[in-house]
Amino acid sequence: MTTVEPPGANEPLDELDFRLLAGVRELWEDADPMPATLVEQIRFAIALEDVDLEVMRIREQEGLAVTRSAAEQGRLITFDSESLTIMVNVSPEAAGTMRLDGWLTPPAEHPIEVRTANGPLTTTSDAEGRFAVNGVAHGMVQVLVRTLGRSRTVSTPAIEL
Amino acid sequence: MNVAKTDHSRVAALFDAAREGDRAALDELVSLLTPLLWQVARDQGLDADQAGDVVQTTWLRLLGSFAEIRSPVALTGWLITVTKREAWRTGEKRQVERPLPELPERLTEAAPAPEEGVLREDQRVRLWRAVDNLPERCRSLLRIVAFVHRPDYAEVGARLGMPRGSIGPTRGRCLARLREQLLANGEGDWL
């Protein structure tokens, strides 16, 4: 395939090129803006003492479109990584807070920490891998599984509930 | 503000501090480089929720890998690579032809904030139209490179799948196409 080089293709970038690049950046920022809360969410997620993390991915969310930022109704989120799957059901409580019901696969007793905007809530999963945490405030939530017998902490991404 | 956002020496200073465990420096790196990673994830065809999750996962993964990264330039490259890989793993098939998103009209405010940008409405529309006319590969390259500070161009090009030696020419070719359109439409200079 022969391509015809446009004039100037091989020259070093000049002032106009840099203005064009700045303009392209501005236009993409306008046309496809980053969510306003994304940086805040990431900062919350990485404010961890642990650095040796196994990071989970969000595999599926039910009711995503309706309840992405508010858990008015029950919502089921599945996270997974190489070694672990966590299903978390989020349900509203009368006090305006939320209850998280979790289920680890493979099932095992592990210390669980639910990080919230108001500080951490801790519990332990039972032999079936189940755990529950009450009184979770709306806002950023991140679940850490401090797996016994291994140095790595398993972490979900922070999600806005 | 655009200049500050892409100030390489600032990123370099923050990189050193963050690698030593300075959390405030890491937070500032997140502010500076997340806009780039957002565009990378979106350019892979992810929806907004998926793109946000992928970018966050990338930063979480960095926590355990910081010690292995040698330089700020390598950091940018590493972040782009992981973002692309995570995006790919979400399993979404990237559409071959994606139309450019609608450009929202710039609101003409009584007191324009200088940091909001420098492009006049007429220039914006013409530049966006020219971007729309670029081949997909050029559009994609310029979208990402526009969010990168200058010393990182070669590294970033390599991470975007272009041989290191050809990134300069490829970028130059795409920019030259853009210029051609803007200068040849009979409406006078874009300047």
Per-residue DSSP letters for B99-117? Answer: PPPPPPPPP--SS--GGG-
CA distance A155 to chain B (A): 9
CB A155 within 8 A of CB A112: no
Residue B113 has pLDDT above 50, yes or no: yes
Provide the ipTM. 0.87
Whole-number pLDDT of residue A66? 46
Measured in angstroms, the CA of A113 and the nearest CA of chain B are apart by: 17
Q: What is the dihedral of CA B147, B153, B156, B161, to 10 degrees?
A: 120
Question: For position B112, what pLDDT does the model report?
Answer: 56
Read off the pTM. 0.86
pLDDT above 60 (res A69) = no
B59 interaction partners in chain A (CB closer than 8 Å): 42, 45-46
Q: A70 pLDDT band (50/70/90 cuts)? A: very low
Banded model confidence at residue A8, pLDDT cuts 50, 70, 90: low
Mean pLDDT of A121-129: 97
Higher pLDDT, B71 or A66: B71
Q: Give the residue, B160 or B46, on which the prediction is more confident.
A: B46
CA distance B74 to B155: 7
- Local confidence band at B183 (pLDDT 50, 70, 90 cut-offs): confident
Output the average pLDDT for chain B. 82
pLDDT beyond 50 at B1: no
Average pLDDT over residues B11-18: 94
More confident residue, A113 or A151: A113
| Cα–Cα dist B182/B179, whole Å | 5
Shortest CB distance from A58 goes to which of B53, B60, B117? B53
Across the interface, which of B49, B56, B127 has its CB nearest the CB of A27?
B127
CA atoms within 13 A on the CB side of B140: 21
B79 neighbourhood in chain A, CB within 8 Å: none
Tell me which chain B residues have a C-beta less than 8 angstroms from the C-beta of A157: 53, 56-57, 60
Average pLDDT over residues A119-134: 96
- Tell me which residue in A20, A26, A38 faces B55 most closely, judged by beta carbons: A38
Which residues of B are less than 8 Å from A10 in CB distance? 169, 172
* A13-17, A25-29, B64-68, range with the lowest pLDDT: A13-17
Sign of CA dihedral B35, B36, B37, B38: positive
